[in-house]
Amino acid sequence: MYISRLKKNDTFNFPVNENRKVWIQLVSGSIQVDDQEIETGDAIAAEKVALVKIKSKDDSEMILFDLPA
């Protein structure tokens, strides 16, 4: 589990190991995960990907869960 606080326009790339998946819970703000935008309270999951690309649209706080697939 990772907690991240991003400033507006920050980028964050998270490599996903084989046999892992991620769940991102957005606590506050607005971010773009790959090509999907989410806002405060939203969550998004990613499976079978090697890299998750995150860009903050506003000052944001998120929790990223690195989970077994």
* Number of structural domains found in the chain: 1
The pLDDT of residue 25: 98
Residue 10: per-residue pLDDT: 98
Return the pLDDT at 36: 96
Contact (CB, 8 A) for 33 and 43: no
Question: What's the CATH number where 10 sits?
Answer: 2.60.120.10
The pLDDT value recorded for residue 67 is 97
* b/e burial code for range 57-66 (CB count within 10 A of at least 16 → b): eeebbbebee
pLDDT in tens for each of the 69 residues of the chain? 999 999 999 999 999 999 999 999 999 999 999 999 999 999 999 999 999 999 999 999 999 999 999
> What DSSP line would sit under 45-61, residue for residue?
EEES-SEEEEEESSSEE
Please tell me the predicted confidence (pLDDT) of residue 39.
98
Structural domain including 41 reads 2-68
Element at 27 (helix H, strand E) = strand 20-28
